[in-house]
Chain A
Amino acid sequence: DQQVKQNSPSLSVQEGRISILNCDYTNSMFDYFLWYKKYPAEGPTFLISISSIKDKNEDGRFTVFLNKSAKHLSLHIVPSQPGDSAVYFCAAIIGGSNYKLTFGKGTLLTVNP
């Protein structure tokens, strides 16, 4: 049972435009969400996170939005750059058992020059 879902396996955007990566979750106990970026032959790298008490968190070109009622979060990258091309994983944590990250399957983002 996939508790964190990334329904788009891939996304292609032009350099300079906005990239929007989506993530849905089913477990209402999740209260902290993270986005990781992964290049080939490297481990995932933490990008940005958001607590369930917030609906937006911004860090430079990256913004994460959380809609708790819809159990949906999205990552916006503006402007997109070719170096952003990677697999992006959405992950979630239940506060009481915060040793375990539950990941989605990932979305491959390709930013074309």
Chain B
Amino acid sequence: ETGVTQSPTHLIKTRGQQVTLRCSSQSGHNTVSWYQQALGQGPQFIFQYYREEENGRGNFPPRFSGLQFPNYSSELNVNALELDDSALYLCASTEGHSNTEAFFGQGTRLTVV
């Protein structure tokens, strides 16, 4: 059984650029949720994808978007990057859309300069 994997682990982008982060869900899981963890804060819910459709969204602007593929892997896209987007981005996968049994990846550390 493979766990949740995220790529890349670190990256640096310039303000105004676009970025794509990737997540492979745990084997057997059909739901992926994305969280942003800013320095000194707890993770904040961005959105969830269940069976390739968005199933809920947190308080993030439309320049945060996502996709889920037929194999249940997922992408998080952020357009027009701002300095405040610098954070650890966490992906969590579950079997079904309940997050009571969420398994997290190691995260992608994004730095916007």
B40 CB within 8 Å of chain A = yes
Nearest B-chain residue to A105, judged by Cβ = B42
Task: Please tell me the size bucket of the interface on B.
Answer: 20 to 34
Chain A residues with Cβ below 8 Å from B43 are: 44, 89, 101, 103
B106 CB within 8 Å of chain A = yes
A45 CB within 8 Å of chain B = yes
B1-38: which have CB < 8 Å to A? Answer: 4, 31, 33, 35
Report yes or no: B58 in contact with A100, Cβ–Cβ below 8 A: yes
Report yes or no: B100 in contact with A99, Cβ–Cβ below 8 A: no
* A99: contacting residue among B40, B99, B105, B107, CB under 8 A: B99
> How many A-B contacts if CB must be within 8 Å?
64
B71 CB within 8 Å of chain A = no
* B90: contacting residue among A34, A43, A102, CB under 8 A: A43
Report yes or no: B100 in contact with A100, Cβ–Cβ below 8 A: no
Q: Given A43-B90, A43-B106, does the pair A98, B44 have CB atoms closer than 8 Å?
A: no
Report yes or no: A104 in contact with B104, Cβ–Cβ below 8 A: no
Chain A residues with Cβ below 8 Å from B104 are: 36, 43-45
Chain B residues with Cβ below 8 Å from A34 are: 100
